[in-house]
Amino acid sequence: MSGQGFGAALLTDDGRPRLPGSLHLNRRLSQWLAIHPEGRVTVTPGKVELGQGILTALAQIAADELDVALGRIELRPAATPDSPDEAVTSGSLSVQVSGGALRHACADARRIFVGVCAQRSGVPPEAIRVEDGRFLAPDGREVGSYWALAGAELLEAEASPDAKPKRAAERAVAGRSVPRLDLPDKVFGAARYVHDLRLPGTLHARVVRPPARRARLVALRDGAPLPGGARVVRDGDFLAVLAETEWHADAAAARLAPRAEWAAEDSLPEQAALEAWLEDAASRGERGTVEERGETPGVRGARRVARRFLRPFLAHASIGTCCAVARWRGGAVEVWTHSQGPYNLRADIAKALRCAPERVVVRHAEGAGCYGHNGADDVALEAVLIARAAEGRPVRLVWSRAEELGWAPLSPAMLVDVEASVDERGDLLGWRSHVVSNGHSSRPGRAPEPALLAASMLAEPFAVRPAINPPMAAGGGAPRNAVPIYRVPSLRVETTRLLDMPIRTSALRGLGATLNVWSIESVMDELAALAGSDPLEHRLRHLDDPRAVAVLRHAAAMAGWTDRRRREGIGLGLGLARYKNTGAYAAVVAEVDATAERVRCRRLWVAGDVGEAVNPDGAANQLEGGAVHGASVALLEEARFDRRAVTGAAWEGYSILRFSEVPEVAVELVAPPPDAAPLGAGEASMGPTIAAIAAAIHEALGVRPRRLPFTPENLAAAMADDAP
């Protein structure tokens, strides 16, 4: 669905023949698939299901390349140490990176099996046809099958660069909408999530959190025995209880909390002065140039716009809370987790335990929807720490809603200054922008210290590093999509990464794009107005990429943009971006119904070009999900905190859109060029949706939003700022 992952993009040439995606570093075919004599194929990718439907898409790819029925493919969740190490499932890259690898691996498996069959049967390999796993000679005679050769260990080989996956036109399963493989379990209430894992003898744990982000546990008073014989587990400032049942764990945590004495300090900025804090922290930050072209002495011209845009801290706000199960046996630990990166998590758990990674086994199991780096990795280390006190017994730890909203990493508050100008014909002359933000990645597995929440609370604590940004080659973090897609002769985009990190920040769907796309599109609308052009025409005249033109025209046509009539209190707006400037294209038209007291987004029209869509219905579902997520961020979302802690730790303190507030959404996929590569679908529509809603608010109310979320209060402030 989301987040950021930059393993593949950073690959250097290692002298070996280049293989697609993560196959390059995980070259053994048996890491990817196994063929069984009873007519089944198991596929074992390193990417994980986050709710985005990736397992179904990967099964389609495997079925197609092997020429077996989809029903024969079984997907196994990733686990160390046997699964391919595909780093993190993030960045809308899974179909490219994992799908590309699996496609090649399966094409190679087919080549090897057919080759062996050809040798044995005397029928030339190019004459053998594969039909649902059976190998047929030109006269229709069956000369072999995958299943008959299953015992021959043919996949204990390195993938060959010679394998030839099918061309798009030859595919029969990939490219077709098929029902998701995981959905039946989910509508029948079957056990599917890590939360449903029921190992014999499981104990239940709860963490007792400090009252502040900066706090030391100075004393723990004795008292009456805890309910149900629950035990206390403590390591430094990390405090938890362990009980036989969930209700005893809850009761014990409630009983223990008032016995803990914390030395707590203020360490968070004033929420009401977030803009001032960003400016102040930026003065001590790390400034760098993202992209520069043409002459940039400043933005010249009389038709000039200079604007500032702001975004609050945002929460993941998954509706299920984070969970992990851990079990120690003889100095080794096994952990079940909904982490996005099993190998990276293993590395950081081992660092936190100060042990070798081989002593940690990480098994993926699904969690509730994941939109980036949430608390999944954190809860896994916590379960491991608590389970140390119960050798041999599985320990299940589930976060509360308050922990989920209050302690998982947040997506950072951001500020963007944009200055741009057009000439008398309306052509863009110059563009400068500066993006200020904490880094957008605190993911595990990449620093010398473990990046997991509890690691900084241990009796021998680890330092917390300020979050980083992925390099621009991998899409960037804070400056993701800060470089406009529009033709502009002179440009300079800069960013400052804050090194103060009072609130731990990391990747959330879209990363910086949620703010940057809106800021660019808002300035484009203002420049269009200065030039007396329609927003659609103004964009089209600055676009060189025909695929961007196609989605923009398509969304405009879906919404009836050119024939629209102005209606009192109703506004239409449009937004466009190519995600990361290298991924999927999305254009969105939004319709809002707005008064000074209330803003409602009623409809969204979304046109997307996601390149190859392995499962078109799945891609449409992802684009719609991203649009609804964007509408929720646009209208409602803001993490709240005081000087000590995140305070909006229940749903009344962190609102997301409910059924009666969700806009109607129409999604259409625009056909990509033939044989186009997959571009990912999960994150592309979010930024353009926010931009479109902002523009629609301007059309309805005459005010340009300057600060997310677009609440009546923030719009009133923008109106006051705009007043002469």
Partner 1 sequence: MLEFTLNGAAVALDVQREAPDDAPLLQVLRGPLGLSGPRFGCGAEQCGCCMVLVDGRPVPSCTMALQAVGGRSVVTAEGLGSPAAPHPLQTAFLAEQAGQCGWCLSGILVSAAALLDADPDPDDDAIRRALDPHLCRCGSHNRIVRAVKRAARAMREGAPA
Q: Name the residue among 672, 542, 511 with its Cα closest to residue 607.
A: 672
Spatial contact of 290 and 494, defined as CB atoms under 8 Å apart:
yes
Residue by residue, DSSP assigns 1-37 as ------TGGGPPP-SSPP-SGGGTTS-BGGGTEEEET
For residue 160, what is the DSSP state? P
* Cα dist from 516 to 552, 578, 626, whole Å: 18, 12, 16
Applying CB under 8 A, among 85, 494, 526, 624 the residue interacting with partner 1 is 624
Instruction: Please report whether residue 383 would count as binding partner 1 according to CB under 8 A.
Output: no
- Sheet of 40-43: strand order equals 33-36, 40-43, 73-75
Q: In 3-state terms, what secondary structure has residue 73?
A: strand
Instruction: Please report whether residue 188 would count as binding partner 1 according to CB under 8 A.
Output: yes
Applying CB under 8 A, among 187, 272, 302, 720 the residue interacting with partner 1 is 187
Question: At its nearest, how many Å lie between partner 1 and the CB of residue 246?
Answer: 4
Question: At its nearest, how many Å lie between partner 1 and the CB of residue 31?
Answer: 27
Applying CB under 8 A, among 218, 247, 263, 569 the residue interacting with partner 1 is 247
Positions 1 through 40 that interact with partner 1 (CB under 8 A): 1
How many C-beta atoms lie closer than 10 Å to residue 500's C-beta? 15
Instruction: Please report whether residue 53 would count as binding partner 1 according to CB under 8 A.
Output: yes
Q: Which is nearer to partner 1, 25 or 93 (CB)?
A: 93
Spatial contact of 596 and 545, defined as CB atoms under 8 Å apart:
no
Distance between CA atoms of residues 582 and 258, nearest Å: 52
Q: Which is nearer to partner 1, 7 or 53 (CB)?
A: 53
Instruction: Please report whether residue 431 would count as binding partner 1 according to CB under 8 A.
Output: no
Helix axes 513-531, 686-701, angle to 10 degrees: 40
Residues composing the chain: 724
Query: Cα(first)–Cα(last) distance of the chain, in Å?
Result: 44
Instruction: Please report whether residue 593 would count as binding partner 1 according to CB under 8 A.
Output: no
Question: At its nearest, how many Å lie between partner 1 and the CB of residue 377?
Answer: 18
Segment near partner 1 (CB under 8 A); pick from 67-75, 380-388, 494-502, 646-654: 646-654
Residue by residue, DSSP assigns 385-450 as HHHTTSTTS-EEEE--HHHHHHHS-BBPPEEEEEEEEE-TTS-EEEEEEEEEEE-SB--TTSSSS-
Applying CB under 8 A, among 198, 329, 354, 487 the residue interacting with partner 1 is 198
Positions 600 through 619 that interact with partner 1 (CB under 8 A): 617-618
Applying CB under 8 A, among 628, 696, 697, 700 the residue interacting with partner 1 is 628
Segment near partner 1 (CB under 8 A); pick from 167-175, 189-197, 354-362, 568-576: 189-197
Positions 343 through 372 that interact with partner 1 (CB under 8 A): 366-371
Distance between CA atoms of residues 306 and 519, nearest Å: 11
For residue 99, what is the DSSP state? I
Q: Name the residue among 156, 154, 136 with its Cα closest to residue 145.
A: 136
Applying CB under 8 A, among 114, 398, 550, 572 the residue interacting with partner 1 is 398
Applying CB under 8 A, among 23, 239, 317, 478 the residue interacting with partner 1 is 317
Applying CB under 8 A, among 281, 536, 627, 718 the residue interacting with partner 1 is 627
Q: Which is nearer to partner 1, 184 or 298 (CB)?
A: 184
Question: At its nearest, how many Å lie between partner 1 and the CB of residue 203?
Answer: 12
Q: Which is nearer to partner 1, 188 or 460 (CB)?
A: 188
Q: List 433's β-bridge partners, or say none.
A: 418, 493
Helix axes 342-353, 376-387, angle to 10 degrees: 40
Q: Which is nearer to partner 1, 276 or 319 (CB)?
A: 319
Positions 649 through 678 that interact with partner 1 (CB under 8 A): 650-652, 656-660, 662, 664-665
Q: Which amino acid appears at position 32 of this protein?
A: W
Q: In 3-state terms, what secondary structure has residue 141?
A: coil
E-assigned strand segments in 37-81:
40-43, 73-75
Applying CB under 8 A, among 141, 186, 293, 354 the residue interacting with partner 1 is 186
Q: Which is nearer to partner 1, 198 or 354 (CB)?
A: 198
Instruction: Please report whether residue 200 would count as binding partner 1 according to CB under 8 A.
Output: no
Alpha carbon 200 to its chain's center: 34
350 φ, ψ (degrees, to nearest 5): -65, -40
Question: At its nearest, how many Å lie between partner 1 and the CB of residue 126?
Answer: 39
Applying CB under 8 A, among 60, 83, 271, 321 the residue interacting with partner 1 is 321
Distance between CA atoms of residues 236 and 240, nearest Å: 11
Q: Which is nearer to partner 1, 254 or 719 (CB)?
A: 254
Applying CB under 8 A, among 245, 296, 647, 711 the residue interacting with partner 1 is 245
Applying CB under 8 A, among 8, 23, 50, 550 the residue interacting with partner 1 is 50
* Cα dist from 112 to 42, 162, 164, 250, whole Å: 17, 11, 12, 56
Instruction: Please report whether residue 183 would count as binding partner 1 according to CB under 8 A.
Output: yes
- Kindly state the number of chain residues that form the binding site for partner 1, as judged by CB under 8 A: 60
Question: At its nearest, how many Å lie between partner 1 and the CB of residue 674?
Answer: 27
Applying CB under 8 A, among 434, 539, 629, 706 the residue interacting with partner 1 is 629
Question: At its nearest, how many Å lie between partner 1 and the CB of residue 179?
Answer: 6
Q: In 3-state terms, what secondary structure has residue 83?
A: coil
Q: Which amino acid appears at position 635 of this protein?
A: L
Applying CB under 8 A, among 74, 132, 185, 593 the residue interacting with partner 1 is 185
The interface mask with partner 1, positions 474-513, x = CB under 8 A, is ----------------------------------------
Q: Name the residue among 586, 588, 612 with its Cα closest to residue 679.
A: 612
The interface mask with partner 1, positions 684-703, x = CB under 8 A, is --------------------
Question: At its nearest, how many Å lie between partner 1 and the CB of residue 50?
Answer: 7
Q: Which is nearer to partner 1, 188 or 720 (CB)?
A: 188
Distance between CA atoms of residues 294 and 394, nearest Å: 61
Spatial contact of 181 and 75, defined as CB atoms under 8 Å apart:
yes
Which residues sit at the interface with partner 1, rule CB under 8 A?
Answer: 1, 50-53, 179-180, 182-193, 195-196, 198, 245-247, 317-321, 366-371, 398, 400-401, 617-618, 621-622, 624-629, 650-652, 656-660, 662, 664-665
